Structure 1
């Protein structure tokens, strides 16, 4: 913040140490998607509740998406340091409780707490970098930040597979504690701010309405046609709540003195396109990281470590592409760099669209690699484009808005794709007349090597075919989303 960090103090700051602390905090949030996805088959085998599989991701992403804007606004008022520290501590509380969970419900509630903290981590970390580095340095540094997603995609599946195979899935959550404390210590010791007291209203009403609308929509996407009938009165009520919440959010943002989502930033075409594309790429990322391990373990019959490998390849493409993007931006511009990323997303999604049990983990790994390249190029391009288009006075909220759209996309993607998966499995069970003895939760047994052997051949075949068909529908959705992303990028302005 220029008001809190002047040019002279920028030079005095130990920027490498601040950057390391910021990247560590971002790593905690980024690694959650891949490390938990790798451990999920073991978690549901232990706690049960396969039908709640997607809620473990959705609960985290919902509170993340719902709070990212409010934390961005609070950091403009109280400074980046206190909000970042609060976010990490909330995240660690949720991680601790997740590791001690004894039921799926307790795990989902703990993940909500984790999500609250994560809402501050990614946005404030990115904004801190915008504060302490000049415009000329930002493209290179943002490449480093984007590569955090790649690094997390490497270490997440490997660590997740190791903890599941050698120790216990609970360590997936407990490993966050020492890393989070290091990030807090670094920010407290090395980031110094001179904050001017400001009295700005906080748009709490906007936060409430977006939570109401998004959570209701996610409930529809996850449970529609599975736990809640499409023609039921409760479903009609939920649809009404979504529409009412969305309308009230729009109304509140237009009348608020300091809106949580200022619509003025959307008048820049490069920002509006970047935000809309972030929504769809967030859905793609969640579709790959959440459900690829289930395919590799439940359909291909591979171990958790092999499933982790198929996600690890995404990180090989992500950090390399992020680093290259920082240089490409200065040569070919935001639009062309983003276009290359969009093409890579389509190629990766096509590999998943053609994925079948006989293709093997290598085919899945190649698809993950191209998705990683696409995410590395697009995310870096979008953030640098946004922070280079607007002034400091709205940099924090503009950065938060882009993070919100990606988080919202991830939340909606987990919910929508999870709903499609559950619906397909349920249909297969009903078509084979097994609904009285088998449920969607019976898919737990496919993910547990010990329980898998207790299933009869007929039941195992039906569940496996249902899981295969459901995941194929998920991957059809990924290809559609990747194509939409590429089309959206074409609308970015040619002259920057």
Structure 2
């Protein structure tokens, strides 16, 4: 890295813009989803708007990192952000849920480069001593984006159009690209790298098969149908071949040898489960607040914003206390906070109102802040410089994979439970999953026959309670996992 020519302040600003763009994506789209569904239809495809994005992101994170080592950070960053912006532009032009999902695939394909390469650039241009203070700036991006995301989503939906949820990325991304092109200067060392293409292909195959099973199982395909059985077989064969490939690859996408250290294996497994929990809250809470509580998109956004307030507060606490208290005590405390938040969501009802939902979000955010910060510190303290990048990327991969699986699994659970409820009422001829679209639009909701609206709201409430029971079980599993965290790091030689 030719640091003399690199203007650090401008590069940092560009990197922070790209991180804001990527970080805000989850909450702003979640807030806008009820309006998007009421406009485009396709309630049964609700979870695929998140799953498609996350699938491509999780499948490309590690390979982008490998290519960045080969050709430099700048070209990979520029290409990744450009693909992300193309997907964002197309999402605004979608006229059906199927089109939106296709364009979200494109957006996710670019998103795989944004966060890991941005983080790597910061590591390249700052010294070890400087990074500590810079982390404060980077953490503030997450806090600000998470607070602004739901608010911006609510404002766009209420006063302009949901398309600007996607189009707001375009000026931010262009500024980030210009900043990196003009002010980041690299001297790339010529090194021969072996990119694990077979591993990335197998990864996409087995993740796609798993997500199709989770989303469509019990909804469009019976659990014992040939489609589900075939996909489960494809998943099983794919994951076995992936593991075999990674063991023999020169530079594997997933370095399994570092998993023998408890700090890493427990952190990665718990990151996977917390990824599921985060999606369970952010993906489906706005549908409950708007569809059942009949509140506005702005209020729905507020119930998610409190998660974003709890997260940076807990992260700041964890950053100051982790060395003195140790990893286990902090992560166990975070695990209990996740369980408290999940219990609040299990007891959620229209009568309790959005304040109760916001309280549950706060506890989830607080638990996420304590656990995720502790995980990153423990991993980076355990490994040496030569594997720190791979170990950090693997943890990011596991959290993103958890989010992808969570969106698919919990979305499938929601659809399956709602369809089962409709069938038990004997109304499958007059009410379908798509009828639930009407609940998410105030005008369409007011036009529903009262009996139909009541049945739909009861069914959605019951279905979302099932989702939150699933979130509670995952939170309990997370707490059980973090009890095995070491108090201090185990150094890899």
Q: What TM-score does the superposition give when structure 2 sets the normalisation length? A: 0.95
Q: Can you list the C-alpha shifts for 1:382-418, whole angstroms capped at 9, x where unaligned?
A: 2232223222322222221111101100000000000
Aligned counterparts, 1:98-247, within 5 A: 98-138=91-131, 141-142=134-135, 144-247=137-240
In 1, the alpha carbon distance for the partners of 2:384 and 2:298 equals 46
8 Å contact 1:143–1:380 — kept in the other structure? no
Alpha-carbon deviation of 1:451? 1.2
Extract unaligned runs of 5+ from structure 2. Answer: none
> Which residue in 1 is equivalent to 2:403?
410
- Matching residue of 2:355: 362
1:329 equivalent in structure 2:
322
Which residue does 1:81 correspond to in 2? 74
Matches of 1:319 and 1:129 in 2, distance apart? 20
Q: Deviations over 1:268-293 (max 9, x none)?
A: 21111111111011111111110000
**For residue 278 of structure 2, what is the aligned residue in structure 1?**
285
Q: State how far apart, in whole Å, the 2-side matches of 1:214 and 1:415 are.
A: 11
Distance (Å, rounded) in 2 between the aligned partners of 1:184 and 1:385: 32
- Correspondence list, 1:414-493, <5 A: 414-493=407-486
The Cα shift of 1:136 comes to 4.8
What residue number does 1:340 align with?
Answer: 333
Q: Distance in 2 between matches of 1:90 and 1:433?
A: 46
The C-alpha deviation readout for 1:175-196, integer Å capped at 9, x for no partner, is: 0001111211222233222211
Distance in 1 (CA, whole Å) between partners of 2:74 and 2:157 is: 35
Would you say the 8 A contact 1:147–1:376 is kept in 2?
no
What is the rounded CA distance, in whole Å, between the counterparts of 2:14 and 2:328 in structure 1?
31
The separation in 2 between residues aligned to 1:381 and 1:55, in whole angstroms, is 31
Secondary structure (helix, strand or coil) at the match of 2:447 reads coil
* 1:225 alignment partner, SS class: coil
1:382 maps to 2:396:
no
Question: How many correspondences in the alignment?
Answer: 489
Say yes or no: does 1:65 pair with 2:91: no
Tell me, which stretches of 5 or more residues in structure 1 are unaligned? none
Aligned equivalents of 1:147, 1:321: Cα separation in 2 = 13
Q: Is the 8 Å Cα contact of residues 327 and 488 (structure 2) preserved in structure 1? A: no
Alpha-carbon RMSD across the aligned residues, in angstroms, is 1.7
Indicate conservation of the 8 Å contact 1:288/1:368, yes or no: yes
Summarize deviations over 1:442-487 as a string: whole Å, max 9, x none: 1001111111122222221111111000100111111111121122
- The answer as to 2:302 corresponding to 1:306 is no
3-state SS of paired residue (1:230): coil
**How far has the Cα of 1:134 moved from its partner?**
4.0
Partner deviation per Cα, 1:284-306 (whole Å, 9 max, x = no partner): 11111100000100111101111
Going from structure 1 to structure 2, the CA distance change for 1:144 and 1:269 (only over 3 Å counts) comes to farther
Match of 1:38 among 31, 44, 55: 31
Q: Does the Cα contact within 8 Å between 1:228 and 1:235 map onto a contact in 2?
A: yes
